[in-house]
Structure 1
Amino acid sequence: MFSSKDKKPQKAKVMERNVVAKNTTIVGDIKSDGDFRIDGTLEGTLITNGRVIIGTDGFIKGNVEATNADIEGKFSGDLLVSNTLTIKTTADISGDVVIGKLSIEPGASFNATCSMKGAIKELNSGNEQKRRSEKTA
């Protein structure tokens, strides 16, 4: 009734890791489903469904959209992280940041406007409920 011939082996989903090595500069836009580690310089846009890691010597000038990000180096531009942004002690960030969760180590330089997506939703729903109760009163 059950035959092993009918079953095909399932491949596990493996996230690829892409690396921009130290002393490497890329100018342009990158789109990927895999993780990225930047130890060199990227000037442009990076869009990924994975994690972005900016190493201690890494620098991104431009826009980044990622699920998670760990920053040890420099970032300047617009940063959109749907889950968690982790900022290490050696990080230097400037620009506009939109995140789900934020973790900053003491000593990091964070000179950016920052908004948390979860907090914005809670504030908006709280204001709506407040307006409704004022109308009924």
Structure 2
Amino acid sequence: MFNNSSKSKGDSKSVLPSSTINIIGSGTSIQGDIVCEGDIRIDGQVNGLVSTKAKIVVGPDGDITGDLVCQSADILGKVTGIIKVEELLFLKANALVKGDVYTAHFEMEPTAKFNGRCYMEDQPAPENVKHGKSVLQEEKA
């Protein structure tokens, strides 16, 4: 990341990684929506929509109350809300998901817990999830 060997002396542009990784650390609590372009890892608490065109990783201490919209996801922590994943949703050992899932591919380890419905056909997700509005937020209004 800080390697200057590929940078010429006349180049004023900084060297950036090819993909952006966003991290919400343990002990961090966010009230509101997160919308980003790159991968995101959540080890803290989020109350709101989390949306990206890349991958979401919810760490073992991660706790999301809200919807997830992404390309792929690995869940190790807790998610309460609708999950819409274009490719692979993977629920790891201690994952706890409460809510419906819309995905093309679904993998779940034997000790993961999933309470909800899973749609893997050409079933569209609810309109408010596709447009980046959290269903949980809509219910509160």
TM-score range, shorter chain: 0.7 to 0.9
Deviation at 1:48, TM superposition (A): 0.2
Structure 2: which amino acid aligns with 1:32? C
3-state DSSP class of the match of 2:57? strand
Q: Give the equivalent residue in structure 2 for 1:29.
A: 33
Paired residues in the alignment total: 110
Distance 1:66 1:21 in 2: 19
Deviations 1:36-84 (A, max 9, x none): 1000001001110010000000011101100000000000001100000
TM-score between the two structures when normalised by the length of structure 1: 0.75
Match of 2:111 among 83, 104, 107: 107
Q: Which residues of structure 2 form unaligned runs of 5+?
A: 1-14, 125-141
TM-score, L = length of structure 2: 0.73
Q: 8 Å contact 1:64–1:78 — kept in the other structure?
A: yes
Larger RCO of the pair (alpha carbons < 8 Å, separation 6+): 2
**Higher normalized helix content (fraction of residues):** 1
1:80 aligns with 2:80: no
Q: Which has the larger radius of gyration?
A: 1
SS at match of 2:100: strand
More strand by share: 1
Q: Per-residue deviation at 1:12?
A: 9.4
Q: Which residue of 1 aligns with 2:71?
A: 67
CA shift for structure 1 position 117: 3.4
Q: Which runs of 4+ in 1 moved over 3 A?
A: none
Matched-pair identity in % = 35
